[in-house]
Amino acid sequence: MAEAERIIGTPDTPDGGDEPAAAAGADAQAVAERTRTGRGRRIAVLFAVAAVAYALDLVSKMLVVAKLEHHAPIRVIGDWLELHAIRNPGAAFGFGAAFTVIFTLIAAAVIGVIIRLARKLYSVPWAIALGLLLGGALGNLTDRIFRAPGIFEGEVVDFISPKGFAVFNLADSAIVCGGILIVLLSFRGLDPDGTVHKD
């Protein structure tokens, strides 16, 4: 049966068998305070990462719309990588163009789940991963809400075009990187609450 061991976040509770009740109470209060402080720092990491990912995506799309849209693609690395502005009604990498509203609702739900999960967050790697997911989801959701053809049906601005691959944006990249990091953390047995599971 798997054994859970806390490695990040809440320190081990001190043994208070032979200590006076007042000292034990003070120690417990100190532990609780350190727990709240540690969680607060990790939540700050989550939102800081999300803010950076969101800002980079937003600024890059503004530049693409202003400078690149309706122009010829710009070659970055020969034929292997181009900057090519398109409007994408589907999900990441152009999939599911017929389900724009559904993808918008899914993105909103993901954001809600991440914010709820933040209350139990004690792991810095998980904070980074969830921050990437949150920033990417917010980036594409902003397009869905505010861009043409209408609210919740807006088309996402994509512009990174590798040879032989779908066109995507920085929000898509943040979502994929966050997802990969979550998979790696899960394989290592590390949970968002800072516990690690060993066989």
Contact 84, 167 (CB under 8 A): yes
Give the DSSP letter string of 13-81: PPP-SSS-HHHHHHHHHHHHHHHHHHHHHHHHHHHHHHHHHHHHHHHHHHHHHHHTTTSPPEEEETTTE
Known catalytic residue at 193? no
30 vs 24: CA distance, rounded Å: 10
Q: Which candidate in 12, 158, 193, 199 is catalytic?
A: 158
Known catalytic residue at 158? yes
Closest CA to 114 of 156, 195, 175: 175
Q: Which candidate in 57, 172, 193, 199 is catalytic?
A: 172
Which residues in 92-106 are b (16+ Cβ under 10 Å) and which e? Answer: bebeeeeebeebbee
* Residues catalogued as catalytic: 158, 172
